Amino acid sequence: KQEVTQIPAALSVPEGENLVLNCSFTDSAIYNLQWFRQDPGKGLTSLLLIQSSQREQTSGRLNASLDKSSGRSTLYIAASQPGDSATYLCILAGGTSYGKLTFGQGTILTVHP
Amino acid sequence: DVKVTQSSRYLVKRTGEKVFLECVQDMDHENMFWYRQDPGLGLRLIYFSYDVKMKEKGDIPEGYSVSREKKERFSLILESASTNQTSMYLCASSPPTFRGSEKLFFGSGTQLSVL
């Protein structure tokens, strides 16, 4: 059974810092991994998708990497801003069940001015 | 852009009422999902559907049913609402996950309160 762990559970940083969020998984048989952000009381917004065959994806100040052999993905946020404050979730697609998705518990990020 | 639309942002219902949560997607996706999200428990899958009239139970289907009569619409039904069903409900859709490039898209959520 796929298990996904996100570390740290919460992170508070001053504005301008570069930071890394981690997502670890136990089963490397995945189709893809997606990073989402969720603002309080809202739905989930897709940030980046990394396919199983890819190593990284970039979008603006965000860079996500995938290392299947070690069961890890990282989300790197450069020059953090208060607007980056949100919960960040990694979601893995894969496994033997149709439509099987496994969620991390999320990292709560606070960027203070 | 793909849109997944949930019909209500907030709902307040009474115990014992029958509740319908509607979700519509506009990208002809085969897969649709219903999750509930509770503090400390994360997102938990209630039901998913991989085609019209097809449905599969998720991790917590008790007390819920679903309907998928048309490809674009996936409805979650609480037959007799109870207070422990107070939660944020999230709908999602995606194409079939067989190539790896298919993205998952979420609606904005329905916060349901059962009194």
Q: Say which residues have a Cβ less than 8 Å from residue B38's Cβ, sequence separation at least 6.
A: B44, B87, B88
Place of tokens 């990497």: A65
A23 vs chain B: nearest CA distance in angstroms? 15
- CA-nearest residue of chain A to B33? A99
B97 vs chain A: nearest CA distance in angstroms? 7
Whether A98 has a pLDDT exceeding 60, the answer reads no
- CA dist., res. B55 & res. B34, Å (int): 11
Upper half-sphere CA count for residue B31 (Cβ side, 13 Å): 19
- CA dist., res. A41 & res. A102, Å (int): 21
Q: In this structure, are residues A46 and B104 in contact, taking their beta carbons and an 8 Å threshold?
A: yes
Place of tokens 């762990």: A5
Disruptive mutation site among A44, A48, A53 for chain B (greatest number of B CBs within 10 Å): A44
Whether B26 has a pLDDT exceeding 80, the answer reads yes
Confidence of residue B11 (pLDDT cuts 50, 70, 90): very high
| E strands, B39-115, in order | 42-51, 54-57, 64-70, 73-78, 87-94, 105-106, 110-114
Confidence of residue A93 (pLDDT cuts 50, 70, 90): confident
What residues of B are in contact with residue A2 (Cβ under 8 Å)? none
Compute the average pLDDT of residues B56-74. 95
What residues of A are in contact with residue B56 (Cβ under 8 Å)? 98-99
- CA-nearest residue of chain B to A52? B100
pLDDT score for A56? 96
Q: In this structure, are residues A108 and A10 in contact, taking their beta carbons and an 8 Å threshold?
A: yes
Mean pLDDT of the residues in chain A? 92
Cis bond before residue A113 (omega within 30° of 0): no
Interface residues of A toward B, Cβ cutoff 8 Å, are: 31-32, 34, 36, 41-46, 49, 51-53, 89, 91, 93-94, 98-101, 103-106
pLDDT score for B99? 60
Burial of A72 (0-12, 13-18, 19+ CB in 10 A): middle
Whether A97 has a pLDDT exceeding 60, the answer reads no
- Of A88, A103, A91, A104, nearest in space to A20 by CA: A88
Compute the average pLDDT of residues B12-27. 96
Q: Say which residues have a Cβ less than 8 Å from residue B41's Cβ, sequence separation at least 6.
A: none
Whether B92 has a pLDDT exceeding 90, the answer reads yes
- CA dist., res. B111 & res. A23, Å (int): 27
Confidence of residue B96 (pLDDT cuts 50, 70, 90): confident
Compute the average pLDDT of residues B6-33. 94
- Of B73, B23, B34, nearest in space to B52 by CA: B73
User: Any idea which of A29-33, A71-75, A102-106, B47-51 has the lowest mean pLDDT?
Assistant: A29-33
- Cβ pairs A/B, distance under 8 A: 66
Partner-chain contact B42 A105, CB within 8 Å: yes
Q: In this structure, are residues A81 and A15 in contact, taking their beta carbons and an 8 Å threshold?
A: yes
Whether A91 has a pLDDT exceeding 70, the answer reads yes
B47 vs chain A: nearest CA distance in angstroms? 11
- CA dist., res. A5 & res. A73, Å (int): 10
Whether B82 has a pLDDT exceeding 70, the answer reads yes
What residues of B are in contact with residue A53 (Cβ under 8 Å)? 100
- CA-nearest residue of chain A to B107? A43
pLDDT score for B98? 58
- Of B96, B32, B93, B109, nearest in space to A87 by CA: B109
- CA dist., res. B44 & res. B59, Å (int): 7
